[in-house]
Amino acid sequence: MRMGMNTPSNSTKVPESVIASKTNPDAVGRRTFWSKNRLSAIYRNKEMTTVLKVFGEPDQKLGDTWIYNKMKVFDPATGQKYRTVQFLTKKEKVLLVEIR
């Protein structure tokens, strides 16, 4: 450390959503090409431990929502592709899967 430089305060708190998690871009769930409906059907009501095993740590956690980016999801009805999956949790289970 240089002389005269200020040191950061030990009392500074960083919000959980800003802290970098140890995501695994090679997790099976992140490499899979998902159908929008299939992803929702499979993971709704599943334990969050299952989501962790398949997708790894989320890119971001916002309250009860786990966010995964750089995903490969498509809607067969419209042909549209999506890159973000959000798992809304309640009591350690997936309540809702949103595709964006």
pLDDT digits (tens, 9 = 90+) for 61-91: 999 999 999 999 999 999 999 999 999 999 9
pTM above 0.85, yes or no: no
Based on the number of CB atoms within 10 Å of its own CB, is 70 exposed (0-12), middle (13-18) or buried (19 or more)?
exposed
The CB-based long-range contact list for 21-27 (8 Å cut-off, 24+ gap) reads 21/57, 21/58, 21/59, 21/60, 21/61, 22/56, 22/57, 23/56, 23/57, 23/58, 23/59, 24/56, 24/57, 25/70, 27/54, 27/55, 27/56
| pLDDT value for 21 | 57
pLDDT digits (tens, 9 = 90+) for 12-48: 454 554 445 588 889 999 999 999 999 999 999 999 9
Answer for the pair 43, 94: CB distance below 8 angstroms, yes or no.
yes
Domain boundaries, the chain: 28-99
